[in-house]
Amino acid sequence: MPSAKMTPDAFLELAVQGVPYVGLLDFTVERFDHGAVDIRLPHKDMLLRPGGTICGPAMMALADITLYGVCLSMIGSVSLAVTTDMNIHFLRKPQPGTLIARGRNLKLGRSLFVGEVTIESEHATSPTAHATGTYAIPPGTG
């Protein structure tokens, strides 16, 4: 499947325009390579839950936006590529701070993309969460 080159800035702009909520989280793109994307979620008090840990919905959003980035890094600017499935395993409580998600392609087909994401706390030595997900690619893309 041919891919139109997409830049990190173009990806972030498309993501924020398509889903304005994404802009509220202040994600930054650390790496945007073909099939591999790293996204940073900075610390915000609004993401904390009782007990002082980062809430699960924030980590799920981070995993989802990272998978979207990996998909678009391969197929180009396709705003209607959508999540069809996502599974996440919370491995340990992340302390308040920045999270980094590292996503990669597992399989790209004509109609589906499958990828995985590992989420780490900025200063941790082991993963905080692991997610896998599938995106539907609109017909006629590529």
pLDDT for 16 beyond 50: yes
pTM for this prediction: 0.93
Predicted local confidence at residue 29, as pLDDT: 96
Q: What is the pLDDT of residue 60?
A: 96
Residue 3 has pLDDT above 50, yes or no: no
Mean pLDDT of 33-46: 96
What's the mean pLDDT in 26-30?
95
Tell me which CATH code domain 8-136 carries: 3.10.129.10
- Which has more confidence, 112 or 125? 112
CA atoms within 13 A on the CB side of 50: 0
